[in-house]
Structure 1
Amino acid sequence: MKIVVIGTRGIPEIQGGVETHCQQLYPRIAAMGHDVTIVRRTPYVGASKGMKEFKGVHLVDVYAPRKKSIEAIVHTTLAMLKARSLNPDVLHVHAIGPGLLVPFARLLGMKVVSTNHGPDYDRQKWGRLAKFVLKTGERLSAKGSNKVIVISQVIADILSTKYGRKDTELIYNGVEIPNLSTDTDYIERLGLKPNRYVVAVGRFVEEKGFHDLIRAFASLAPEGYKLAIAGDADHEDGYSRSLKQLAAEYGVVLTGFIRGEKMRQLMNNASLFCLPSYHEGLPIVLLEAMSYARDVAVSDIPANRLPVLSPDDYYPVGNVEALASLLGRKLKAGATPRKYDLSNYDWDNIARQTVEVYRRVLT
């Protein structure tokens, strides 16, 4: 089977939840004997510029403007034309922004599977016009795709209620059980001590809620503990600059975007992981923290309400005082490893489920 994938910035080691999803999923599908091509956005390829293959997945770079308001739509148009030239059995479109052009793909004669990673129009960074475009993309991808994959029951309910799409395929995001690092040299260079810091990970955009976390941690001021945030902005803007200023004011450790051994050390030695998001699909970074057996403190948005977590892990989203109280209780209890049942989030099983969706599209 020949599959072309669009809607992601690309792989490997490119910041973002959809990007992590694709990096884990498609090498597994390629290893099952399928021909997989991912179309990448040129501004993000970085050190992997010119790379033609990653773990059996073909990589094709297509132009995208580095302007968030038009980046996705321009790249998706060009990527669909490139995909048509590759003559795939299935075009897999990720996210509702690129989903705006699902009808165009169908007009080009392609079979389309779309994955809805969540209602992106809920993100604070988008203005009124952008939110309208994203809602339109949600509607057109829901109604126009041959098959629709959703990563949470919350998203399935949205598409059923709003568009009558009741045959969505629920396939969760996944997580790999990590190879734990015993080294601490990287975190020590950051001025961090094992089990004496809180960690958060994500892009520097308003809906991630890192401003709430910094203020909550500063008000708590736990003796002997630090706060570390791994990530950065895709597009530097007023919010990301103000967040970095706030972090500097309160002595927060900012690592930038990291992967590999650096991330393993940062996660494995944290006392507590915090996800203060206002919006998520099904957060891979939360699953990753759980795979390290870290205790967690998370906002109570629907996407974060995983059955393997307890009510004591949540606080009301946006409530800085409640977040500070939760951090205080968790840190007082100490860094005790937790065992979570992550069997529903196995990438190998997710790959098999995804291929089965492709097969049903072609029958």
Structure 2
Amino acid sequence: MKIVVTGTRGIPNIMGGVETHCEELFPRIAAKGYDITVIRRKSYVKDSLKEYKGVKLIDLETPKKKSFEAIIHTFKAIIKAKSLHADIVHIHAIGPALLTPVARLLGMKVVFTHHGPDYDRDKWGKTAKVMLKLGERMGTTFANEVIVISNVINNILIQKYNRRDCHLIYNGVPKPDFCEFPEYFQELGIEKGKYILGMCRFVPEKNLHHLVEAFSKINTYDYKLVLAGDTDFEDDYSRKLKELAKKHGVVLTGFIKGTKLHSLLTHTRCFVLPSSHEGLPIALLEAMSYNLPVIVSDIPANLEIGLNPENYFKVGNVDELAEKLQYNLQNPLQRVEYNMQQYNWDNIAEQVQHIYNSILNNSKK
């Protein structure tokens, strides 16, 4: 069985929730004997790999322009998939899903994973939002099988398109890698247990400016705020966020993975995610896997995880967020044991494999 994956910028070590999802999922499926090829966007690739943990990698040139790159890359990837005689094209995210009918017309089966209603993101203009909504419709209507990563998304597809056979498969999280990296902490100018951590892309809907503003309002007791991440496209928002962060002494790490990120997760006081939009946030799941206290906005995707009421604040309410931060810093640190069983990547990989097998078995009838 040959499966070609598109809709992601690529793997490994490329920033983004979909990218992290694919980096964890597809090596596990490849290890079971499936022929997996991920089509990468060359402008994001910093290596010369042709294979990663059993997953074949093909790089295609794509213009690095926010409004066009995903759709152009997906079209080229689908054409490439046809030349590779793919049995299944697995499309991730609603923008790339716009081309689901093209893959079907070329005779390939399509699995579409809906990672969230991206048309709700602040970064998109009116035309882009229309195209994203159309992509959601095309993927939901024409894909052979649809995967959703949360009940929130599943309900959207039932209400809007009456598609009731979607597969609910949550995002996952790997086992935590508790580690020490004193040299890195010295480089950042932080101490173990003396900082609050936010990690995500620097885009408007993540509301990191609210976190910086809230942190600036409280008695920090010499704690620092660390923001791990960056932006794909430097714009007015990312520039203003970085200026605001520097004004208030926030530590900016840039995009990090591996030991640097794991060491920050190991030793932070708490993790904060103030987003106004999420599908099912991998960053939050990762923080939970490290038994961290978390403070998150009360959007549907975060509420679905089922944290205690004190972990949530009203999205956009900077004063309430500041109160939660202050309470956390002035009370003893308490690690939390979360139930992470449903976010196990090995189980998730088995569920996706079952979908692939059912598609091929049905096509043989």
Tell me whether the two structures share a fold, i.e. TM-score over 0.5.
yes
For the Cα contact (< 8 Å) 2:219–2:326, is it kept in 1? no
Q: Give the Å deviation of 1:191.
A: 1.0
Classify the secondary structure of the residue corresponding to 2:39.
strand
Letter in 2 for 1:39: I
What is the correspondence of 1:30-41 to structure 2 with a 5 Å cutoff? 30-41=30-41
CA distance in 1, matches of 2:167, 2:34: 21
Letter in 2 for 1:29: I
1:184 aligns to 2:178 (yes or no): no
Aligned match for 1:90, one of 81, 88, 91: 88
For the Cα contact (< 8 Å) 2:196–2:225, is it kept in 1? yes
Aligned match for 2:69, one of 59, 68, 71: 71
CA distance in 1, matches of 2:332, 2:300: 27
User: What are the superposed Cα offsets for residues 242-276 of structure 1, whole Å, 9 maximum, x if unpaired?
Assistant: 11100010000000000111001111110010001
For the Cα contact (< 8 Å) 1:151–1:171, is it kept in 2? yes
Q: Give the Å deviation of 1:186.
A: 1.1
For the Cα contact (< 8 Å) 2:181–2:260, is it kept in 1? no
For the Cα contact (< 8 Å) 1:271–1:334, is it kept in 2? no
Using the aligned pairs only, state the percent identity. 55
Classify the secondary structure of the residue corresponding to 1:10.
coil
For the Cα contact (< 8 Å) 1:308–1:341, is it kept in 2? no
Aligned match for 1:117, one of 104, 115, 119: 115
CA distance in 1, matches of 2:332, 2:183: 23
Classify the secondary structure of the residue corresponding to 1:12.
coil
Matched residue pairs, number? 361
Letter in 2 for 1:359: N
For the Cα contact (< 8 Å) 1:77–1:101, is it kept in 2? yes
Aligned to 2:334: 336
1:24 aligns to 2:20 (yes or no): no
Aligned to 1:321: 319
Aligned match for 1:175, one of 170, 173, 176: 173
Classify the secondary structure of the residue corresponding to 1:66.
coil
What is the correspondence of 1:96-245 to structure 2 with a 5 Å cutoff? 96-245=94-243
For the Cα contact (< 8 Å) 2:91–2:111, is it kept in 1? yes
Aligned to 2:264: 266
CA distance in 2, matches of 1:306, 1:218: 29
Q: Give the Å deviation of 1:80.
A: 0.7
User: What are the superposed Cα offsets for residues 47-95 of structure 1, whole Å, 9 maximum, x if unpaired?
Assistant: x1x2100000000001111110111111111111001111111110000
Q: Give the Å deviation of 1:299.
A: 0.3
For the Cα contact (< 8 Å) 1:12–1:23, is it kept in 2? yes
Q: Give the Å deviation of 1:179.
A: 2.0
TM-score by length of 1: 0.98
Q: Give the Å deviation of 1:308.
A: 4.4
Aligned to 1:43: 43
Aligned to 2:354: 356
User: What are the superposed Cα offsets for residues 219-258 of structure 1, whole Å, 9 maximum, x if unpaired?
Assistant: 1141211000000010011110111100010000000000
Classify the secondary structure of the residue corresponding to 2:217.
helix
User: What are the superposed Cα offsets for residues 263-301 of structure 1, whole Å, 9 maximum, x if unpaired?
Assistant: 011111100100011111000000000111110000000
Q: Give the Å deviation of 1:307.
A: 4.1
Classify the secondary structure of the residue corresponding to 1:189.
helix
Aligned to 1:7: 7
Classify the secondary structure of the residue corresponding to 2:40.
strand
CA distance in 2, matches of 1:182, 1:111: 46
Aligned match for 1:301, one of 299, 302, 309: 299
User: What are the superposed Cα offsets for residues 22-67 of structure 1, whole Å, 9 maximum, x if unpaired?
Assistant: 0000000000111000000011002x1x210000000000111111
CA distance in 2, matches of 1:269, 1:355: 36
Letter in 2 for 1:66: K
Letter in 2 for 1:42: K
Classify the secondary structure of the residue corresponding to 1:220.
coil
User: What are the superposed Cα offsets for residues 159-197 of structure 1, whole Å, 9 maximum, x if unpaired?
Assistant: 000001100000000001122103432122211111111
CA distance in 1, matches of 2:105, 2:143: 12
Classify the secondary structure of the residue corresponding to 1:121.
helix
CA distance in 2, matches of 1:314, 1:278: 13
CA distance in 1, matches of 2:185, 2:314: 31
What is the correspondence of 1:270-285 to structure 2 with a 5 Å cutoff? 270-285=268-283
TM-score by length of 2: 0.98
CA distance in 2, matches of 1:185, 1:314: 34
Aligned match for 2:254, one of 251, 256, 266: 256
Classify the secondary structure of the residue corresponding to 1:135.
helix
CA distance in 1, matches of 2:165, 2:132: 21
For the Cα contact (< 8 Å) 1:90–1:113, is it kept in 2? yes
User: What are the superposed Cα offsets for residues 85-114 of structure 1, whole Å, 9 maximum, x if unpaired?
Assistant: 111111100000000000111111110000
User: What are the superposed Cα offsets for residues 308-357 of structure 1, whole Å, 9 maximum, x if unpaired?
Assistant: 41111000001101110111112222322111110000000000000101
For the Cα contact (< 8 Å) 1:9–1:19, is it kept in 2? yes
